[in-house]
Structure 1
Amino acid sequence: MTSTTSDRPGPVRTIAFVLFSYGPNEPAGYERTVGALAAGCRELGITPLIVTSGPAEPGDADHPDMVRLASLTLPRPIMKPGILTALKDPEPVRAELRDLLARHRVDLVVWVDALYGLGYLDAAPAGVATVLQVHKVRADSFFDQAIAAAGAVLPISPYMVEEARAHGYDTSGWTIVPNPLMAAAVPVPALTRERLRQDGPVRIVSRAEPFKGLAELLSAIPDGWQRPVELVLARAGFEYWPGMQDEVVTAVRAAAAERPDVVTVLDPLPWEKVQPFFAGAAATIIASYEPETFCNTAAEAMSTGTPVVGFGIGNLPHLVGDGGVMVALERGYGALWQEVGRLTDDEARYHDVSASAARRTAEHAPASIVRALIAATRTTAAG
């Protein structure tokens, strides 16, 4: 769709998204969300500005919306001790950030996280509206400072509101603005969906993180399982401990080797290719054994009419609803495969679930979420 300045909501001309771990096509929720929000801005005739850390990387020139802070350089992979060391003296970062936002005449600043999005620095120029996205409730001093500084607090899911309340935060003034898709929901045609139900693959997209339960899931494939299983596995630019992703990749490949007749491990996909990939799946599985705070890949699958089967924890039940099947965590990984089989064996139920999946993500188009973000900012400020 061709954008025009008349599409632009009100006086907002430039929105800055601050996330110091950002990288194009990074296989992580914060980064992919920022990429989708930037796409929504462009569709509406709004200029996105993505502010991240150094050092510069090959290919930066291909992303003119992205600028790097000279005062904040982080190694790859990023780990929290390195972050805290780099921000031991935050004043140069705060000063550069405030100057950069002023020079670009930013109308709205989105701190993507209290720490990773530098929300705790309170570095917006005077008179510039700010919002703090809540992708995780960290309940630490960074989080508290960022909440106090932000003009509006926007959790990405009902689950984030539940978590914040459980930690004692007053969420009465917060507004949920969910993560956007990279592109509007487009369910595959009914005849194609029926062919996928009969013999389409189970497709999974994930980064190499231990809590995603990928090796455990593959090891639990039933002996008689014949439907293809295709897993896109990607390494991110951050780790919780050195070598974490190597450990996960090794474990996943070992589990896949137990069933080479059905399992294929695939290379990472660019963001815009994920929804089309899911459009060719009978179902996807979210095997995370720790709560997902939103779950972009579930929404991406649902947007094409592909049902989601997963453990009923975190935001997944809120997001998926009747667009998939939730399994109690204590039932284990074998139950996930069992429920995929039951769903795909039941033609009427499968198509009902598929239609619900697409319907539940219809409002997650990038431009729609940018509009919601701006509206929530104004509503909260007015309140």
Structure 2
Amino acid sequence: MPTFREYTFRTLLAAGCASAAAAPQPLPGQEITILAVGDIEWSRTTKAPGMYYDAAPAGRSNVLWHRDDGWIRVPYAATPEARDVLEAALDTTLITEEAHHLRAHHYDLSFEDGQEEARYPFHGTADLLRDADIAFANLETPLSDDARWSGAFRTPSAFADALAWAGIDIVATANNHSLDAEGEGLLDTIDHLRRAGVGHAGTGRDLADARRPYIVERGGLRVAFLAYAQFVNDGGSSFATPSQSGVVPMDPLLIREDIARVRDRVDFVAVSFHWGIENSQDVHPGMRAFAHEVLDAGADAILGHHPHVPRGIEVRDGKPIVYSMGNFIFGHGHDYWMDNIAVRLHMGAEGATRLDILPIAGRGDALSQPYLLEGEAARTLLEDIRARSADLGTTVRIEANAGVIDIVR
């Protein structure tokens, strides 16, 4: 079996792949900010596909299949009655990963109309998002009203307008939930984002369409966003092909080509990765090696998400790697989730100059309407991120309720 390193960009470079061209020189003295946040999902209900459970508690083998019986798993319909039965058995049965949807904490909220519901989660952070020159997020749900709901999430299309209202300019749509409403839902998502004026990267009507960068120009500087996913929930059929809509896989061949193709058209290339192990704050050495070679291929920053918890930040040769920002907005919560981070990247003609780490509330009901943390809660999270970043060779200083990384080349 080939090693991870045998699939990295050094191998591709040795094989003769084209190198990135030099960027054009922007006007001197210009500086803009990019605010990046983590996962956004606002379905407010979850639908576990299949609702299969692996083992029954004592005396309940007539209700739930017992692993030792040698019989197939039986499917439970996604109905309130089935949910009640399965929730009652959770403490005494071995169950599959769908259980966390049943155990999720759902918020006690009601709204007058769809617009109020869609805008609600942004009321605590809209000013922060709007103050940035460019605001980026990972959109962890399809936006569709009618497409077949086959995965965990599906969010009404009104949420596209709420993203624009809140000040979000660009979303990554390459993630494991991109096809929770199947192919129709993916195309609905693209259409609703375009209608609302929100850019997207990482999905498309075919592989070529999905690989297109989204380019934003602010203050005389042009920034390209590319997005990729390490995995999808159906095991791979949601990845785009030359003749099929879907998600761009985290394929190093594609990444190198995409960076090289856009490098000479822009001043800054930001690469979004949906990657890593859920609910783990550890950074695998292979993840670091992969990130380093993406930067060596011409990217200027990596914006990571998926783990649902924040991780340390690394700066390599003046280029930041944000391994995970954690959650930002979610339609439900879990007791094992924690507070999260946003990052504000300052960049000028020569690239990134400073990175601010902003602590974002994420415990309890906070994911329904997050806000900037202050005081002891902010300090606790920032101290953790500082320690984890130090393990990656990066120094973070804490100023009031924010962390600061001075980027020196």
TM-score in same-fold range (> 0.5)? no
**TM, length-normalised to structure 1:** 0.31
Name the structure where helix makes up a greater proportion of residues. Answer: 1
For normalisation by structure 2, the TM-score amounts to 0.30
